[in-house]
Structure 1
Amino acid sequence: MDELAIDVRNLSKRYELYAKPQHRLMQMLFRGRRQFFGEFWPLRDISFEVKKGEAVGIVGRNGAGKSTLLQIIAGVLLPTQGEVTVRGRVAALLELGSGFNPEFTGRENAYLNGSILGLSRAEMDAAMPEIIRFAGIGEFFDQPVKHYSSGMMVRVAFAVQVQLNPDVLIVDEALAVGDALFQKRCYQRIRELRERGVAILFVSHDIESVRTFTDRALLLDKGRLAVAGPSSEVVLAYRKLLHDEENRAKQGEIAEHKAALQARAASVEVAPAVAGTGEEEPASIASETSVVSEAAERAMDQSHDGTKFEFGSLEAMITDVTVFDGQNEECTTFYTGDKIKIAVKFVIREDMDKLYVNLRIRNKEGIKMYSWGTFNQDAELIAHRRDGFIFWNQKFRAGEEHTVVFTMDACVLGENFYEVQASLIHQQSMNFADQAILHWMDEAAFFMIRARVDTHFFGGVCDLHMHANLLSDGRAELARGA
């Protein structure tokens, strides 16, 4: 128990929704003998623990209960049921700057905020140089906050919060505002706190940050704890949840379209002599109805093997992912600079075009090193108006098997263990955001990169192919491109 920083047990939160103002008064008068309100439960029976020095991410759709959970842990809200135990001082980065007085300067608001958080005047005097440096807003620090942008306000509020030397740090999308340099400083500061044994709760819609920044994660769905476990697995479950919801919405659209076509067909049968229709229209509509119906039924009936590392609507399926060397031999160990080939074999289950085969490569820390696929190649050809095969235009037929080979002529990755993720995507337009996942496979393959210490040694995650020159006259040599 001494190792626990946060202990949440059977936590639930209820809000009372009154249709009319007088119902609230009637509820008080009847002292609970009758209920004049509706119930809304943003949280239901949540239990989890966070140890000292552990970083735990929380993900979920909007309205899943993430912010409510953090506010209860921070002491802003009271739970309706259950218990929350937090050991030590809490710094909560929730709605940063919301309590600032717009007429006060940044410095005055910093002192006010520090006193609210329990810091003495002497502690704030000592911390003020670091707060000013960290906020990085220059002369605006002594200007009224009403002249600040939202990003400047967040900078000052964050700079004050992290001076608390907390035992528990709660972060709720606080880093979404601010430039890249400020975000870098924030993450660096959070890492320092974690190394000192501070427990961290981290909420973000940036699932890549959750995957790489946290040890474990929680997935909330409709107020309940849906999945808890290693961050990589929870992030995958979250992606699958979003995909399934999108798929159900599309199936609903198909069903509505089918019903509309059937209604049109029925109206033609009732009145076949409508001008300009002839006898061909019922057959045409019936044919379209049949195709849509079969597509809907296949979408509902399809299933895969249920492993936790893959999901998709499965109109096309990945059957194998293999890593080869430059001699086309299967291989799992390479050196920086080697040729590496990754072959993705897949089967088509429904006639289609606009297919996009994609790879992601992650190191063992979960950091995405590279993401690229056939559509990236297509887009480059189209943008530069170069001749070449456009994969996106290829038409595939049900039952066909194909293989796409991705080649790295000279691998630039540094020494590490790497995971290959593969996916088949229906790229509906030339907009990268307009996509539907047919099959996504995590841990599709693995390979190791080693370094030739005697001839090709460098530090970092990739080889930037630098070279060094000794310049006798710096300006002259640089001007000539040395």
Structure 2
Amino acid sequence: MDNIAISVEHVKKIYKLYDRNRDRLKDALGFSKKPLGKEHYALNDVSFQVGQGETVGIIGTNGSGKSTILKIITGVLNPTDGEVKVNGRISALLELGAGFNMEYTGIENIYLNGTMIGFTKEEIDEKLQDILDFADIGDFVNQPVKTYSSGMFVRLAFAVAINIEPEILIVDEALSVGDVFFQTKCYHKFEEFKKMGKTILFVSHDLGSIGKYCDRVVLLNKGVKLAEGKPKDMIDLYKRVMAESKMEDSPKKEDGHAAIEGVAWKESMILNPDKQEYGDKKAEIIDFGIFDATGKITNTVSKFEECVLKLKVQFHEDVLNPIFAFTIRDLKGTDLTGTNSLIEGLEPGLIEAGTTLTVSFRQKLPFQKGQYLLQLGCTGYNGDELEVHHRLYDICCIQVLSKKVTVGYFDLNSIVSCNEE
């Protein structure tokens, strides 16, 4: 155990789920001869170890048990079965509001949290200025935290967690609340911790950060550990799990098996349930998909890695030289880039009714890591008048992964040299 910071052995966490509150009460009072609730395994026989000085990420779909395992490691929850051993002083940032008294001021909460971790008032006094400088919330530190914005709250919470010199830092998705500059500062602190030989365990949906900062990754799915290993391998496996999960939700054949052959590409994508569309439907985008460098359908691509966007367009009427287009936006709705088949020099001629075309856009995305929105369209000219046949707005999200972060939305992929005169 000397070189192991965290050991998780065969951990289970079982919750009882009830259809009615009165059934829960009957079970609790022992009035029922048989259990009325159904057992739900939030975690089922999960085991892994984190070595001292390692940065380990935990990834998985929603409901896979990521936050539950962190809460068990930090002692917020008790496991139903199994054992967790921790070798070192933990500082944890699990969720917004955890460990803070909403009626206390920021200063009072700093002392409260420090005392709970085991510091004396004098020791907290020594660290106070570092905490205030890192949080950078000004005079609000003297106001009750219930008056804080979510961004201010997480700044203070992370400043406390990161500046009390923990041997083990545990972070859940809370960082996603902070602005990009604060997140950058936090990740710089991560790098400092790594160089100091500290242990970091964190959960994130930001696969770019997982790939960049983690030495190893644990992949959970539906409460079970699927695998652990190198970040790139686990991210690739996670993408396959996401695709397979979509397949499970796709239409079934009469024998009950998923109709894999003939399943629409979009059934393997993470789609926007609130899509917007319009057009005269002379031509209709009936399917689409993003394919990574290995040919797998995915919403996740790596920066500068070749990918292919495919559209399947069905024509209900004759259309002369239809134009196929895509646009990529940021989450605020700003158009960042896009192109269409006319710009790229493709003129398909007269497409007759009843025809289905597959259109492919092959490119490398130069975007910074983050999430973007995809728009698709099929238009055409009737004389000098542009007709919109079908447009899909914000139809799905594209997650871009990258270990390198430059300024702005795009990476210019500069080559820098330095020569002595």
Which whole-Å CA distance do the structure 2 matches of 1:208 and 1:170 have between them? Answer: 18
- Once the 2 structures are TM-superposed, how far is the Cα of residue 50 of structure 1 from its aligned partner? 0.7
* 1:25 aligned onto 2:29: yes
Please report how far the alpha carbon of residue 249 of structure 1 lies from its aligned counterpart in structure 2 after TM superposition: 2.2
Are 1:368 and 2:303 an aligned pair? yes
1:167 aligns with 167
When residues 26 and 240 of structure 1 are mapped into structure 2, their CA distance, relative to the original with a 3 A threshold, is same
Partner of 1:300: 260
Q: Say if 1:222 and 1:389 are closer, same or farther in 2 by CA, change over 3 A.
A: same
Cα distance, 1:464 vs structure 2: 6.7
Residue number in structure 2 paired with 1:379: 326
Give SS of 1:78's match.
Answer: coil
Measure, in 2, the Cα distance between the counterparts of 1:403 and 1:111: 59
State the alpha-carbon separation in 1 of the partners of residues 392 and 194 from structure 2: 39
Name 2:199's counterpart in structure 1: 199
Compare 366-375 and 240-249 and name the one that shifted more: 366-375
1:82-121 matches, cutoff 5 A: 82-121=82-121
- Deviation of residue 68 (structure 1)? 1.0
In 2, distance between residues paired with 1:95 and 1:407?
36
Shift of 1:200: 1.5
Q: What's the Cα RMSD here?
A: 4.7
CA contact 1:378–1:392 (8 Å) conserved in 2: no
- The alpha-carbon distance between structure 1 residues 54 and 393, as it changes in their structure 2 partners (threshold 3 A), is farther
Q: Structure 2 vs 1, CA of residues 204 and 403 (structure 1 numbering), >3 Å: closer, same or farther?
A: closer
Work out whether residues 103 and 145 of structure 1, in 8 Å CA contact, stay in contact via their aligned partners in 2. yes
Q: Deviation at 1:466?
A: 11
How far the C-alpha of 1:391 sits from its partner, in A, is 6.8
How much does 1:101 deviate? 2.5
1:388 aligned residue (325, 343, 347) = 343
Q: d(CA) in 2 for partners of 1:13 and 1:402?
A: 48
Q: Which runs of 5+ in 2 are unaligned?
A: 268-284, 295-300, 312-323, 328-334, 367-373, 378-389, 399-410
Question: RCO higher in 1 or 2 (8 Å CA, sep ≥ 6)?
Answer: 2
Task: Call closer, same or farther: CA 1:130–1:42 in 2, change over 3 Å.
Answer: same
Deviations 1:335-370 (A, max 9, x none): xxxxxxxxxxxxxxxxx9866676679xxxx97346
How many Å apart are 1:155 and its aligned residue? 0.8
**Structure 1's 17 and 314: CA in aligned 2 closer, same or farther, altered over 3 A?**
closer
Give the structure with the larger helix fraction: 1
Q: Is the 8 A contact 2:74 2:90 kept in 1?
A: yes
- Which amino acid in the other structure matches residue 10 of structure 1? H
Q: Which amino acid aligns with 1:244?
A: E
- Mapping of 1:189-228 within 5 angstroms? 189-228=189-228
- Residue 203 (structure 1) shift: 0.5
1:235 maps onto 2:235 in alignment: yes
Q: Deviations over 1:245-294 (max 9, x none)?
A: 21232334xx5xxx9xxxxxxxxxxxxxxxxxxxxxxxxxxxxxxxxx9x
CA contact (8 A) 2:375 2:391 kept: no
- Report which of the two structures shows the higher radius of gyration computed on alpha carbons: 1
Say which SS state the counterpart of residue 158 (structure 2) adopts.
helix
- Matches of 1:225 and 1:5 in 2, distance apart? 19
Relative to 1, partners in 2 of residues 1:10 and 1:433: Cα closer, same or farther, differing over 3 Å? farther
2:64/2:221 contact within 8 Å kept:
yes
**What are the superposed Cα offsets for residues 430-472 of structure 1, whole Å, 9 maximum, x if unpaired?**
55864699xxxxxxxxxxxxxxxxxxxxxx99317899xxxxx
1:463 paired residue number: 414
The question of whether the paired residues in 2 share the 8 Å contact of 1:103 and 1:146 is answered with: yes
SS at match of 1:251: coil
Matched with 1:14 is 14
Counterpart Cα distance in 2 of 1:314 and 1:103: 48
2:217 and 2:199 map into 1 onto residues whose CA distance is: 13
Contact 1:53 1:198 in 2 (8 A): yes
Partner AA of 1:221 in structure 2: N
Identity %: 36
Quick one: distance in 1 between partners of 2:225 and 2:364? 42
Alpha-carbon offset, residue 427 of structure 1? 6.9
Query: Which blocks of at least 5 consecutive residues in structure 1 are unaligned?
Result: 260-292, 304-311, 316-351, 413-424, 438-459, 468-482
Aligned residue type for 2:225: L
Tell me how far 1:208 sits from its aligned partner: 2.0
**CA separation in 2, counterparts of 1:92 and 1:133?**
20
Q: Equivalent residue of 2:260, what SS?
A: helix
Shift in Å, 1:82: 1.1
Distance 2:310 2:39 in 1: 48
Q: Post-superposition shift, 1:148?
A: 0.6
Q: In the alignment, is the contact (CA less than 8 A) between 1:427 and 1:436 conserved in 2? A: no
Q: Distance in 2 between matches of 1:59 and 1:242?
A: 12
Does the CA-based 8 Å contact 1:212-1:367 persist in structure 2?
A: no
Q: Distance in 2 between matches of 1:390 and 1:357?
A: 22
TM-score, with structure 2 as normaliser: 0.66
Judging changes above 3 Å, is the alpha-carbon distance between structure 1 residues 205 and 432 closer, same or farther for their aligned structure 2 residues? farther
One-letter code aligned to 1:300? I
In structure 2, the CA distance between the partners of 1:427 and 1:82, relative to structure 1 (3 Å rule), is farther
Partner residue, 1:446: none
Inter-CA distance 119–372: structure 2 relative to 1 (3 Å threshold): same
Residues in 1 aligned to 2:38 and 2:258: alpha-carbon distance in whole angstroms: 40
Aligned-pair CA distance for 1:108: 1.4
Which structure has more strand as a fraction of its residues? 2
- Aligned-pair CA distance for 1:16: 3.5
From the superposition, tell whether residues 44 and 139 of structure 1 become closer, same or farther in structure 2 (CA, over 3 Å): same
1:326-405 paired onto structure 2 within 5 Å: 368-369=303-304, 378-379=325-326, 387-389=342-344
